[in-house]
Amino acid sequence: MIRTEGLSKRYGDALALDGVSFHVEQGEIVGLLGPNGAGKTTTMKILTCFLAPSAGRAQVAGYDIFDEPLAVKRCVGYLPEDPPVYNELTVEEYLTYVGRLKGLAGSDLRAARGRALEKCGLSDVAGRLIGNLSKGYRQRVGLGQALLHNPAVLILDEPTIGLDPVQIKEIRSLIKGLAPDHTVILSTHILPEVTATCQRVIIINEGRIVAVDSYENLSQQMGTSRRIAVRVRRPGPELVDRLMALAGVVDVEPEPGQVGSYRVESRLDQDLREEVARAVVESGAGLLELAGTAVSLEEVFLRLTTDEREVTA
């Protein structure tokens, strides 16, 4: 659905993108991650034909960004970080206006507007002024305009920034529900959003792709040790000593702010869950919970964007 090959972009002497290549399959939700200035926004502008690359090629929904830019734009719905809404219009008036800009009219426009209102949970506020809506609802309106022409591809830039936890949950659920009817690229700084929403991640740093894979695979590749989360009823230093004495355990650390919870790290080639469980039970600490844990996406992100290690699929 989306394919890029060697995309590069120069702004004078500055190289914003350097040979970026990746693909996104139909129906996928993919997270685009990177530090500020890494090249995320430049990549999105190229894919939406707002900006031409200095070198390389890209196709969106089978259309080439150089040869058929208008066809690409018809296939893409774009939600920028600040939704392009007009506060003096009602939700229905705004969607009607945007629909006409996108070439919709008559029954087609009414049907498209109705689908956008329903899909984005806006039916109850269709007659209200956008300026009187909450930040969460304005974000929904922005998503509604991106969906209005039923695009094959959606490109969303920081769709939950500034929202409260309830609104974030609602928007994430809405985005997840867009697949498999739409292919989604989601750019965000909120790493838990990626693990909650996306099937794969593309990590970009200093204009270059440093990883393209699922979070689970990246976690395994970047891991230097196995981790076990342990929660007990009666914590104490004697439990830590007993766990540290197990062959293969390299560290035992209490979890900050969680009384009775510990993180046990062992060598990567050893699975010590059974031995750890036995040691906790024999210590009399009262085992409440034990589970293997993975390297967090935050750790993966920091290693890839600070150590310059490349992991590609």
Average pLDDT, the chain: 90
The reported pTM is 0.76
Q: What is the model's pLDDT at position 49?
A: 94
**Both tokens of residue 168?**
């974030």
In-domain check, residue 299: no
Whole domain around residue 254: which residue ranges? 224-294
Q: Is 227 helix (H, G, I), strand (E, B) or coil?
A: strand
Whether residues 197 and 247 share a domain: the answer is no
Between 43-52, 66-75, 82-91, 165-174, the lowest mean confidence (pLDDT) is in 165-174
Q: How many domains does the chain have?
A: 2
Residue 313 pLDDT greater than 70, yes or no = no
Q: What is the pLDDT averaged over residues 180-208?
A: 88
Q: Which residues contact 250 (CB under 8 A, 6 or more apart)?
A: 225, 265, 266, 267
Q: Find residue 56's DSSP bridge partners.
A: none
The answer to whether position 301 is within a domain reads no
Which one of 219, 235, 268 terminates a domain? 219
Alpha helices in 132-212 (DSSP H): 135-147, 165-176, 191-197
pLDDT average, residue stretch 93-118: 95
